[in-house]
């Protein structure tokens, strides 16, 4: 899109769901379409995934760690089409008007050790789209050109692509950590605890990366356990109202063991972490990607004497996302998507907060 047409776009208005006050519903506003800066791309949003962290952003969970200026547009899982290119976007970027793309939402400062290692999501001086720069709960958004990835070759619709940028990405990085730590493989058992937006993908990565490990899904409803089985879990356990001993009794019936070698925790609640610590075998590893709680409390002596490991794993980097998109394009990833309308954003955020969404709610724009 040339500069003249780009200028015309900026006179347009767009619908946006914005935070005006914490702990209050998002407001649907008419606001100006943002202008692409020299090194930015203007995107017409086609789909935006709804994450529990969006609910947490609204209720103030990230108020101190990731402060935002209000009013603010959340939404960090974004797929759309290129509407305009900034004047400084090089031809080598391979981007053209109308291209179907996704947004890598982690924008590092490019100067720190983490950025030079390729882990811009860990950059202390960077930005996370939807947690600082305005995100995708709107008809348009802007993003740096080098964080916009063409995805037409995947053959997937936007509502499947958008969740891959977080819900599909975060458990992939976590499962890679368990794999690289040597905790997966034949004769090993891995648990995915919390079969929600992330856990539905996590079960699939346990199957894809597990090299023959036995895969178990833990959840608190029959519907979510059904998703785990459909996505490749060998066994499932309903952990609602069960003690650790009760869960271990079921583990023994299912696998012949009362302990497991690896846990990918997609909940991050005190209950889920306590359960993971209780069932982890000697030299086992717990990788946490969920963020429901505020603190991690683990039994010190069992972790030290059993040489158990705890990994934090945050989101994923650009190359991780490329891996996920490749797997999806090869048809190796199933999608559990619940399409919703922008007008229904608040009702669905409330459902996310209650844990009622089975799969990933995705705002789909006309």
Looking at the fold, whether 132 and 214 belong to one and the same domain comes out as no
Name the least confident of 24-33, 107-116, 154-163, 285-294.
285-294
19: β partners: 72
CATH number of the structural domain spanning residue 10: 3.90.180.10
Convert the pLDDT of each residue in 325-338 to its tens digit: 999 999 999 999 99
pLDDT of residue 199: 95
- How much of the chain exceeds pLDDT 70, in percent? 96
CB 163 within 8 A of CB 299: no
Looking at the fold, whether 321 and 306 belong to one and the same domain comes out as no
CATH number of the structural domain spanning residue 252: 3.40.50.720
pLDDT of residue 90: 96
Looking at the fold, whether 237 and 347 belong to one and the same domain comes out as no
Whether the pLDDT of residue 46 is over 70: the answer is: yes
Sequence-distant (≥ 6) Cβ neighbours of residue 331 within 8 angstroms:
none
Integer CA distances (angstroms), 162 to 48, 79, 167, 218, 248, in order: 6, 5, 9, 25, 37
Name the 3-class secondary structure at 193.
Answer: strand
| 150 torsion bin: left (phi>0), alpha (psi -120 to 50), beta (else) | beta
pTM of the model: 0.93
Helical ranges in 217-336 per DSSP H: 222-230, 244-255, 270-279, 300-305, 318-329
Angle between helices 318-329 and 170-180 (to 10 degrees): 100
Question: What mean pLDDT is predicted for residues 332-345?
Answer: 95
Convert the pLDDT of each residue in 120-147 to its tens digit: 999 999 999 999 899 999 999 999 999 9
Question: What does the alpha-carbon distance between residue 206 and residue 232 come to, in Å, rounded to a whole number?
Answer: 8
Looking at the fold, whether 144 and 190 belong to one and the same domain comes out as no
pLDDT band at 3 (very low <50, low <70, confident <90, very high): very low
Is there a cis peptide before residue 71, judged by omega within 30 degrees of 0? Answer: yes
Convert the pLDDT of each residue in 166-217 to its tens digit: 999 999 999 999 999 999 999 999 999 999 899 999 999 999 999 999 999 9
Name the least confident of 81-90, 208-217, 230-239, 352-361.
352-361
**Residue 251 domain boundaries:** 170-312
Q: HSE-up of 177 (CA within 13 Å, CB side)? A: 24
Looking at the fold, whether 151 and 9 belong to one and the same domain comes out as yes
Looking at the fold, whether 246 and 336 belong to one and the same domain comes out as no
Convert the pLDDT of each residue in 61-86 to its tens digit: 887 667 788 999 999 999 999 999 99
pLDDT of residue 4: 42
Query: Is 338 exposed, middle or buried, given 0-12, 13-18 or 19+ CB atoms closer than 10 A?
Result: middle
Angle between helices 222-230 and 199-209 (to 10 degrees): 30
Looking at the fold, whether 293 and 340 belong to one and the same domain comes out as no
CB 265 within 8 A of CB 288: yes
Question: What does the alpha-carbon distance between residue 302 and residue 312 come to, in Å, rounded to a whole number?
Answer: 19
Give the chain's domain count: 2
Structure tokens, 184:
């997966």
**Please, what is the average pLDDT of the chain?**
93
pLDDT band at 10 (very low <50, low <70, confident <90, very high): low
Looking at the fold, whether 113 and 202 belong to one and the same domain comes out as no
Whether the pLDDT of residue 323 is over 60: the answer is: yes
Question: What does the alpha-carbon distance between residue 236 and residue 254 come to, in Å, rounded to a whole number?
Answer: 9
Query: Beta strand 100-103 with 106-107: parallel, antiparallel or unpaired?
Result: unpaired
Question: What does the alpha-carbon distance between residue 54 and residue 286 come to, in Å, rounded to a whole number?
Answer: 25
Helix and strand tally (H, E) in the chain? 12, 17
Looking at the fold, whether 242 and 94 belong to one and the same domain comes out as no
31: β partners: 14
Looking at the fold, whether 344 and 261 belong to one and the same domain comes out as no
Strand runs (DSSP E) across 53-133, as ranges?
A: 77-85, 100-103, 106-107, 127-128
Rg (CA), the chain: 21
pLDDT of residue 58: 85
Whether the pLDDT of residue 2 is over 50: the answer is: no
Question: What mean pLDDT is predicted for residues 99-121?
Answer: 95
Question: What does the alpha-carbon distance between residue 121 and residue 128 come to, in Å, rounded to a whole number?
Answer: 8
Looking at the fold, whether 114 and 227 belong to one and the same domain comes out as no
């Amino acid at each position: 899109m040339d500069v003249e047409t780009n200028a015309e776009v900026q006179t347009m208005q767009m619908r946006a769901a914005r935070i005006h006050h914490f702990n209050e519903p998002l407001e649907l506003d008419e606001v100006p379409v943002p202008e692409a800066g020299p090194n930015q791309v203007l995107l017409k949003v086609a789909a935006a995934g709804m994450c529990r962290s969006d609910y947490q952003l609204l209720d103030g969970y990230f108020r101190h760690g990731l402060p935002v200026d209000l009013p603010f547009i959340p939404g960090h899982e974004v797929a759309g089409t290129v509407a305009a290119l900034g004047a400084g976007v090089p031809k080598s970027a391979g981007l053209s008007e109308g291209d179907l793309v996704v947004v890598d939402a982690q924008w590092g400062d490019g100067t720190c050790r983490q950025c030079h290692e390729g882990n811009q999501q860990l950059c202390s001086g960077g930005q996370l789209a939807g947690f600082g720069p305005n995100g995708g709960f709107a008809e348009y958004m802007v993003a740096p050109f080098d964080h916009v990835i063409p995805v037409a070759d995947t053959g997937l619709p936007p509502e499947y692509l958008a969740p891959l940028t977080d819900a599909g990405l975060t458990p992939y990085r976590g499962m890679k950590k368990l794999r690289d730590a040597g905790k997966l493989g034949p004769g090993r058992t891995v648990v995915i605890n919390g079969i929600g937006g992330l856990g539905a993908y996590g079960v699939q990565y346990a199957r894809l990366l597990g090299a023959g490990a036995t895969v178990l899904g833990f959840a608190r409803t029959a519907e979510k356990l059904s998703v785990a089985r459909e996505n490749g879990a060998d066994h499932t356990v309903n952990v609602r109202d069960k003690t650790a001993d009760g869960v271990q009794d079921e583990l023994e019936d299912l696998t012949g063991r009362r302990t497991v070698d690896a846990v990918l925790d997609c909940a991050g609640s005190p209950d889920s972490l306590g359960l993971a610590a209780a069932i982890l075998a000697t030299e086992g590893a717990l990788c946490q990607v969920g963020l429901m709680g505020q603190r991690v409390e683990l039994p010190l002596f069992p972790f030290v004497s059993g040489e158990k490991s705890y990994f934090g794993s945050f989101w994923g980097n650009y190359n991780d996302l490329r891996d996920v998109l490749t797997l999806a394009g090869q048809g190796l990833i199933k999608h559990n998507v619940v399409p919703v309308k922008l007008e229904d954003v608040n009702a669905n955020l409330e459902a996310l907060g209650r844990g009622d969404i089975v799969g990933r709610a995705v705002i789909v724009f006309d």
